[in-house]
Amino acid sequence: MSITNEPVKVLDKGFVRLVDFMGGDQGVVDAARVSYGGVSKGPEADKKLIAYLLKHSHMTPFEHSVFKFHVSAPIFVARQWFRHRFAAYNEVSFRYTEVKDYFYMPTTWRGQDKKNKQGSSAAATLDQDALHKAFKAQVDGALQTYKTMIEMGVAREMARMILPVNLYTEFYWTVNARSLMNFVVLRADGHAQWEIQQYGEAMAKAFKALMPWTYEAFLRDGWKGENAAIAAERAALPVLENAAK
């Protein structure tokens, strides 16, 4: 993934797009070696240093590599996302912009998990057609009421109150590599809501493309979650010699 890359589609209408990037694997190495006045010792030594840092939880050097993303996600996903506080956010305001027909419409409804009170289960038998129909009617009705209120002269900041949380919002997210790893650990994990898992996986792919050495070290010693794709990547890693400075 390069800085000029096109948006990567997530869910039905969402996306993530890399806007800017600074530091990379080399930025981590440089930040770590400045502690004792050292310089790069070549790719192999630098890669081993990154592995050593992550394995032994020396995390501040990873804060010197920074990503800026443009994200489009449903409001209910964004509200979970914004709980990751060690980052900078700027979000579109529906006080200033008029809402368009831009809603997340799930393809499958999940039932409540019988063991995990905050989770869902695909095993439940649900009337999918009836649920899709009822949900679409509710969304269409809310959007039409919003449009009617705008036509009647109601301020956008008040008319927006009628809108459901499956409305897509957009925001810029600037985050360092340390915080991005935390996001992936929590949001690509199988215990997270399925919708935000898709964004967690998209961020993992961007992380891998831009910081491959750090991503490999992350798979070895930073990733603790449950995700089939990431688990397969981890299992495929070559045996690593003892990481050292």
Label the pairing between strands 168-176 and 88-91.
antiparallel
* Measured distance CA(245)–CA(226) in Å, rounded: 30
What secondary structure does DSSP assign to 179-227, as a single string?
HHHHHHHHHSSTTS-HHHHHHHHHHHHHHHHH-HHHHHHHHHHT--S--
Matching residue, tokens 């996986």: 201
Is 187 known to be catalytic? yes
Strand-pair partners of 15:
9, 72
Catalytic residue from among 17, 33, 178, 187:
187
What is the Cα–Cα distance from 127 to 146, expressed in whole angstroms?
Answer: 29
CA dist 215 and 27 (Å) reads 14
- For residue 91, the cross-strand partners are 171
- Kindly state the DSSP code that residue 26 receives in the 8-state scheme: H
Residues belonging to the active site: 187
